[in-house]
Structure 1
Amino acid sequence: MKKVLIIEDEESIRSFLTINFKMQNFIVIEAGSGEEGLNKARVENPDIIILDVMLPGMNGFQVCDQLRNEFPNLGIIMSTAKGQDLDKIKGLECGADDYVVKPFNPLELILRARSLLRRMNDQEELVRGDLLKSGPFVLEVFSQKVFKHKEEISLTPKEYDLIKLFMENPGRAFSRNELLDIVWGYDFVGDTKIVDVNIRRLRIKIEDDVANSYYIETVWGTGYRWRKD
C-alpha cells in the first residue's frame, strides 16, 4: 500500500480527503500545518504528498521547497486557489510535480496521485549500469543521478525525466505538447506552462549562463532541443 501525507489546515477538507484516499487503499498521514507536515514527512517517509498553498506559519511554497531539498524523489501535488495562476507557476518552480485547483473532485486528485506514482515506479525499474554521456554530462540510468564535470546535480523527478529524454535524443526538437505527453503522461490534465517552468528550473541547474542557454536550445515556435555534440 502506498502512503500519502495530506498537509492541509482546513480540518473538513483534510478529513474528506483522508476518507477518500483510505477508500482507495492508501495509508494516510495528516498534518495541519507546514511545520507538522515536514516533521511527519521525515518520520513517516510517504510516497506522495498533497500540499495546500495557504497554510499557517510556513506556507505551502516554503514547505515544498524544503521537502524537495530533503526528498528529491518524493511526489508532490499542490492545491491552489481557483484562478491563482501565479500560485501554480510558483508551486512548480518550488519543485511540485503537479497541482490541482480548489474546489476539486477528490477522485481527480486520487487519479493524479496514482498517475504520478506510476511514473515514479517506472523510473525505479530502469536497468542497472546504463550510462548516457553528452559533453560534460553523465547520466546514470540505474541510480538516476546526473553529473556535470563529475559533480552531481540535484534534480527533481521531472527535471531528471527531461534531461534524460534530451540526452537520449540530441538534436531533436520536441514541442511543448510532446514533452507534456512524454514526461507528464497522456492522462495529465494541465497546460504547457508546466513544461516551460521545469525547463527554466533545469537550465538554472545545468547551464553556465542561464540567460544564454547552451545545452538546452529554444526552438522558436516549437519547443526545445538538446545541443548535439
Structure 2
Amino acid sequence: MSNEHPELRRPDGSPLRILAVDDEPMLTDLLAMALRMEGWEVKTAASGLEALQVAREFEPDALVLDVMMPDLDGMGVLRRLRESGNLVPVVFLTAKDAVEDRISGLTAGGDDYVTKPFSLEEVIARLRAVIRRAGQVRTDDEQAILRVADLSLNEDSHEVFRGDDEIELTATEFELLRYLMRNERRVLSKAQILDRVWSYDFGGKSSVVELYISYLRKKIDAGRTPLLHTVRGVGYMIKAPQ
C-alpha cells in the first residue's frame, strides 16, 4: 500500500499519529497493522472513554472511530473532542449503511465515513484524504493562497483570514470553503458540493450542505459584508461585494 502513494509525514518530518478505536480487538489489531505498514505511529483504544484519554496523551493526527461502543459511542467521543477545541479529523466506522446515519456522523463533525465490512485499503485512502484536507502533512510545494475580497485561504498552511482576523475551521469546513473560493462567482449546486467535499450520494438529502454553509456563514460573514450567497433553487456561491 505504501509504495503506491507518496509518503505522508508531519510537518516536522515525524510519522503521522493515528488513533484507532473499536471494541473488537481483532479489528483494531488489523487496522493497527495496516496503518503501521504506511509508516504511521498507531495507538488503539477499546472504548470511548479510553479513546478520549489516549487522544489527550497521544495527540493523534486523525482518528478511526467506531460509532457503536459500550460506554461512550463514537458520536459522544467526537462531541467531547470538539467541545474541548480538538479539531482532529475523524473517519467513522459503523455497521450501519443508512443515509441518515452517514448524515448524522458528518453533521456531528466527522470528516468521513466507512461502513463495515470494509477493506483496509479503503480506510487508509479515507485517512490520507482527510489528513491532506486538514493540512497536517509536510509539503514542498510553493504556498497557494486563494483570495476573495478580504478573505484569504492558504492551501498549504490551512490558515484562513478575514481581514486581520484568523478564522478557525474544521477540515470539512475548510474543504467546503476552498471549493467555493476556487469557483468564485460560480453557482455550485448541492449535488456538486456533496460530490466534491464528501464524495457521497446522499440520495437527494442535502441538509448536510445547508448545515455546513450555515457554519461557514457564522465564521466568515458574521458582522461583516457577506461573501457567501444562496441562489434559490440552484445552490451557493462566493463572490466579492460589487
Question: TM tier, shorter chain?
Answer: 0.7 to 0.9
Structure 1 residue 150: Cα displacement = 5.5
Please, which runs of 5 or more residues in structure 1 have no aligned partner?
none
Output one character per residue of 1:154-203: Cα deviation in whole Å (capped at 9) or x when no partner. Answer: 3102212322443454432113344345545xxx4x22545444334334
Match of 2:152 among 126, 133, 139: 139
Match of 1:174 among 188, 203, 228: 188
Q: Is the 8 A contact 1:148 1:206 kept in 2?
A: yes
AA partner of residue 139 (structure 1): S
AA partner of residue 16 (structure 1): L
Structure 1 residue 31: Cα displacement = 0.7
Which residue in 1 is equivalent to 2:107?
Answer: 93
Paired-residue identity, %? 34
Q: Secondary structure of the residue that 1:49 maps to in structure 2? A: strand
AA partner of residue 180 (structure 2): F
Which residue in 2 is equivalent to 1:62?
Answer: 76
Which residue in 1 is equivalent to 2:7?
Answer: none
Cα distance change, pair 226–133 in 1 and its aligned pair in 2 (3 A): closer
Name whichever of 156-165 and 30-39 sits farther off: 156-165
Superposition TM-score, scaled by structure 1 size: 0.76
d(CA) in 1 for partners of 2:44, 2:92:
15
Structure 1 residue 99: Cα displacement = 0.6
Which residue in 2 is equivalent to 1:219?
Answer: 231
The structure richer in helix per residue is 1
Name whichever of 55-64 and 17-26 sits farther off: 17-26
Q: Secondary structure of the residue that 1:199 maps to in structure 2? A: helix
Say how many residue pairs are matched. 218
Query: Runs (4+) of structure 1 moved beyond 6 Å?
Result: none
- RMSD of aligned C-alpha atoms? 3.2
Match of 2:36 among 14, 19, 22: 22
Please, which runs of 5 or more residues in structure 2 have no aligned partner?
1-14
d(CA) in 1 for partners of 2:136, 2:51:
27
Q: Secondary structure of the residue that 1:174 maps to in structure 2? A: coil
